């Protein structure tokens, strides 16, 4: 049978409470919530206020959260340090899976550090874009393309391990001003002309992930659109993404507690039914 997540009827709600929904969260630091209180796994920098925890609490689902900072698609099928492969958390009794992955495969955190280091050379220009396109090829865009088959293989593996589960791929929230107008500062040391380039790179990544989700039997949740206007350039209280020099208890260039709440809401609003075993 199928249960509605949003606007459930009283009848379906009673069925929902009668049977536990087994939910497994997979992914990287955008799922684990590094730095956000309270941290419950120091190795993976995982918070009990990350979007999987908030979603599970809102729906009264039984959560197994193996999301882990630094995870790549490789960490899904293989060990990540002392941690077991994330896919080991899946089984025939898994009902729902969320997956946030891909950013570390393209090395985006390291790319931001590279861009920040180039800013002083031309703070009003676009030294980061110039660096990554100096050979006539956009190397960041190429990394996105190269990651596509890895996402495809990861989704196929999830389906194999959890054949009855509803698989939901969760995209990345809006990190940079959507209008491309930057905020070069000590907290956001990126050159003015590079904000649009980095925004476009993130959009390429999300578009690729959405395409792979569609092609491999998974739903895609857009967390970018509902977080526009709350990027790292906004002041404290308005931003849901911390700048490169974080002020709130969260990792740099990552969602803060409000950002994780927004991601949880996007997942809950976008997923309309959960497949259940009879």
Catalytic machinery residues? 29, 254
Half-sphere exposure of 247 (CA within 13 A, CB side): 14
Which residues are CB-neighbours of 10 under 8 A, at least 6 positions away? Answer: none
Half-sphere exposure of 175 (CA within 13 A, CB side): 28
* Relative orientation angle of helices 195-215 and 139-161, to the nearest 10 degrees: 30
Query: What does the buried/exposed string (b/e) look like for 116-143 if buried means 16 or more CB atoms within 10 Å of the residue's CB?
Result: bebbeeebeebbbbbbbeeeeebebbeb
What backbone phi and psi angles, to 5 degrees, belong to 252?
-60, 140
Half-sphere exposure of 207 (CA within 13 A, CB side): 9
Q: Are the C-beta atoms of residues 155 and 101 closer than 8 Å to each other?
A: no
What backbone phi and psi angles, to 5 degrees, belong to 32?
-75, -30
Largest Cα separation within the chain, whole Å, is 63
């Amino acid at each position: 049978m199928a249960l509605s997540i949003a606007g459930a009827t009283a009848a379906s709600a009673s069925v929902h409470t009668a049977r536990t929904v087994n939910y497994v969260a997979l992914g990287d630091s955008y799922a684990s919530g590094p730095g956000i209180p309270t941290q419950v796994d120091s190795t993976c920098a995982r918070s009990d206020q990350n979007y999987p925890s908030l979603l599970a609490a809102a729906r009264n689902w039984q959560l197994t959260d193996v999301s882990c900072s630094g995870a790549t698609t490789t960490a899904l099928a293989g060990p990540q340090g002392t941690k077991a492969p994330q896919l080991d958390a899946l089984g025939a009794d898994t009902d729902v899976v969320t997956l946030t992955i891909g950013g570390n495969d393209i090395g985006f955190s390291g790319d931001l550090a590279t861009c920040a280091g180039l800013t002083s050379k031309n703070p009003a220009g676009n030294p980061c874009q110039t660096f990554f396109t100096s050979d006539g090829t956009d190397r960041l865009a190429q990394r996105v393309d190269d990651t596509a088959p890895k996402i495809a293989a990861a989704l196929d593996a999830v389906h194999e391990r959890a054949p009855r589960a509803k698989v939901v791929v969760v995209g990345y929230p809006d990190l940079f001003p959507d209008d491309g107008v930057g905020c070069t500062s000590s907290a956001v040391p990126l050159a003015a002309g590079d904000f649009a380039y980095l925004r476009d790179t993130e959009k390429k990544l999300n578009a690729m992930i959405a395409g792979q989700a569609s092609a491999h039997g998974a739903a895609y949740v857009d967390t970018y659109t509902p977080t526009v206007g709350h990027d790292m350039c906004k002041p404290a209280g308005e931003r849901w993404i911390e700048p490169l020099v974080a002020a709130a208890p969260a990792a740099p260039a990552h969602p803060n507690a409000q950002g994780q709440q927004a991601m949880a809401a996007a997942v809950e609003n976008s997923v309309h039914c959960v497949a259940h075993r009879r």
